[in-house]
Structure 1
Amino acid sequence: MQFLKTLLMVFAAGVAVAFAFNNWTSVDVRLWGGLLVDINLPLLMLLCFLTGLVPTWLWQRALRWRSQQRLATSERTLADLRAAVAATAAVPPSIDPDPTPAPVAPPLIDGSRP
Structure 2
Amino acid sequence: MQFLKILFWCLLAFVAAVFTLGNWTTVPLKLWGGLIAEVNLPLLLFITFLIGLVPTMLYYNAIRWRLRNRLATSERTLADLRGVLAPVVATPLEPEPPAIQPPPAPAAIPTAVPPGGA
How many residue pairs were aligned? 90
Q: Which runs of 4+ in 1 moved over 3 A?
A: none
TM-score by length of 1: 0.73
Residue 8 of structure 2 corresponds to 8
Structure having the higher helix fraction is 1
Map 1:31-70 → 2, pairs under 5 A: 31-70=31-70
Which segment is superposed worse, 4-13 or 27-36? 27-36
Matched residues in 1 for 2:89 and 2:57: separation?
51
Structure whose CA Rg is larger: 2
Aligned CA-pair RMSD: 1.4
The Cα of 1:21 is off from its aligned counterpart by: 1.4
Of the three residues 87, 90, 100, the one matched with 2:88 is 90
Gaps of 5+ in 1: 93-114
Percent of residue pairs identical: 57
1:73 counterpart = 2:79: no
